[in-house]
Chain A
Amino acid sequence: MKLIIAIIKPFKLDPVREALSDIGVQGLTVTEVKGYGRQKGHTEVYRGAEYTVNMVPKLKLEIVVTDDLAPRVVETISAAAATGSIGDGKIFTLDVGGAVRIRTGETNETAL
């Protein structure tokens, strides 16, 4: 099993979710996050007080899938979340040690 963590632009959530659903992904978890990478922040001015905001709002998706599905998930997110401009985000893949579906007690791949 693999955990795929994707940081994407907030307005790309719907296209990504639809594309993942089309390739058979059963569920995902979304968190609103802030961070920075190569994309510059911006400046805010309130009555002359200037604040440089380095942290850019993004969404973090977490998806656990079987090993064989993982490459396709990465590919799909990559395609659906792309705009071609800086700040499109990043995708990480990690190994997962185990999984349990709490309601039934099913484990590992049957729990996904």
Chain B
Amino acid sequence: MKPTLGLAGRALAFSAPLLFSLPAFAQEAAAAVPVPDKGDTAWMIMATVLVMAMIVPGLALFYGGLVRTKNMLSVLTQIIAVASLAMVLWVMFGYGLTFGGDANQFLSTGKFFLAGVTADSTAATFTDGVVIPEFVFIAFQMTFAAITVALVVGGLVERMKFSGLMVFAIVWLFIVYYPIAHMVWYLGGTDEATGLIFGWGALDFAGGTVVHINAGVSALVGAIILGKRIGYQKEVMAPHSLTMTLIGTGLLWVGWFGFNAGSALEANGSAGLALINTFVATAAAVLFWMLTERVLGHKSSLLGACSGAIAGLVAITPAAGNSGPFGAILLGAIAAIACCIFVMKIKAKLGFDDSLDAFGIHGVGGIIGSIGTAVTMLPALGGPGAEDYAMGAQLIIQIQAVLVAIIWAAVGSAIAFGIAKVVTGLRVTEEVEREGLDLGEHGERAYNY
């Protein structure tokens, strides 16, 4: 491995998390060995567990509330199971393939089973000479892999086999998540080892491409391959508890501060910027989704407010540290209007059953946020871009990054669903689907009154 201290200085200020452990020989050579700051370390541990709160219980309740009573428990089970699977795989192979040292533009190939990592290992941040404990970085990134695979569940609920989902998740993490995370976030010692998309100079502060476009597109592919739920657009499939969905939304919003502000990797001004943007972009999106509902001739709804919150959170994710607060408000508002029109007006005509709008909100919102990040960087909008920031060139880079993420996720998830279909089958039987996956797949009910 190459000495890494100089790398962090390479234009990382507005980029995503990316890290290097410092090898022992570098420590001997350096006059001053960087020691993790206790404040940074404490914040990153907090940020990591905040992201955990987004998954279980946050996402589990958000999704769970949106399905029918008979499938509530299956959604909760699917979320906790795929997230746990992603955590175990992360320390075995995921970290090594994503951040395990220089290899090529698509994957790393070291540090499997966390080889060589100790409590004294450190990982670089975006500031020269500032490091955090490597275990903290590993755990922080682990939660990202876990929530991304859990988000895909939103397109598959109420009909996918539990065993099929687990097989899909294993394959998908290897061929979709690890490569995309490496491509977007890994800075190597040379251009040939740096992630492809990172090398282009694409901005993705906390995971617009890696997490949201990736999960949204994969959910869409899954929804198309699985087919519609029995009775879709004929029977009543109203959410069984919007109270649960509101609780889940609140937990997601709170946890998202760890997700976005934690992606600064330090307790500093960049984290502070991400913090305030995560408040105001989301607030704007809540209001503009409800406003869009009114303009479309409906009542302003709680589900609309919750959906708007998620759309805003998704859109601000790539821009969290790459935007001023008013650029964030603009981005949140645009994402809410676009996602609202997509899920309320366009989706029904497209003929696929993306049951909980994983694509409609994470996919569409992620695309808007990732492309919009080129705009929110503008100093004129209060963004942190330099005086000579060239928006046009950045816009092209962002669009390229989005296209690569969409295509990679679509092809990779189609392969992963295909393998799961061969190994276990994808859909439950019609009988199980009608009776509900809670009893059919897990032998329990969510509620026993």
Contacts and interface: CB of A to CB of B under 8 A. Distances in A.
Contact of B298 (A45, A51, A53): A45
Contacts of B343: 47-48
B345 A48 contact: yes
Interface in B103-151: none
Contact of B236 (A45, A47, A48, A51): A51
A11 interface: no
A48 B238 contact: no
A45 B299 contact: yes
Contact of B348 (A46, A48, A53): A48
Interface residues of A, number: 8
Contacts of B348: 48-49
Interface string A11-50: 0000000000000000000000000000000001111110
Contact of A51 (B238, B299, B357): B238
Contacts of B304: 47
B298 A46 contact: no
B238 A47 contact: no
Interface string A31-75: 000000000000011111101010000000000000000000000
B390 interface: no
A31 B347 CA distance: 40
B357 A44 contact: no
A44 B307 contact: no
Residue picked from A46, A47, A48, most chain B C-beta under 10 Å: A47
A46 B357 CA distance: 12
Contact of B344 (A48, A51, A53): A48
Contacts of A46: 238-239, 301, 303
B220 to A, nearest CB: 16
Interface in B252-305: 298-299, 301, 303-304
B230 to A, nearest CB: 15
Nearest to B289: A47
Contacts of B233: 49
Interface in B54-91: none
B252 to A, nearest CB: 17
Contacts of B236: 51, 53
Contacts of B299: 45
Interface in B305-340: 307
A49 to B, nearest CB: 7
A47 B237 contact: no
A51 B298 CA distance: 13
A48 B303 CA distance: 11
B301 A48 contact: no
Nearest to B298: A45
A44 B347 CA distance: 18
B339 to A, nearest CB: 10
Nearest to B361: A47
A44 B307 CA distance: 17
A47 B356 CA distance: 10
Contacts of A49: 233, 237-238, 348
B238 A44 contact: yes
A47 B303 contact: yes
B234 to A, nearest CB: 11
A51 B307 CA distance: 19
A48 B236 CA distance: 13
Contacts of A48: 343-345, 347-348
A109 to B, nearest CB: 36
A44 B238 CA distance: 8
Nearest to A52: B236
B10 to A, nearest CB: 43
Contacts of A45: 298-299, 301
Interface in B220-261: 233, 236-239
Nearest to B356: A47
B358 to A, nearest CB: 12
Contacts of A47: 303-304, 307, 343-344, 357
Nearest to B232: A49
B276 to A, nearest CB: 29
Contacts of B301: 45-46
A46 B348 CA distance: 12
Contacts of A44: 238
A85 to B, nearest CB: 22
21 contacts: A44-B238, A45-B299, A45-B301, A46-B238, A46-B239, A46-B301, A46-B303, A47-B303, A47-B304, A47-B307, A47-B343, A47-B357, A48-B343, A48-B345, A48-B347, A48-B348, A49-B233, A49-B237, A49-B238, A49-B348, A51-B238
The 3 closest A-B pairs by CB, nearest first: A48-B344, A51-B236, A47-B343
Interface of A: 44-49, 51, 53
Given A47-B357, A53-B236, 6 more contacts: A45-B298, A46-B239, A47-B303, A49-B233, A49-B238, A51-B238
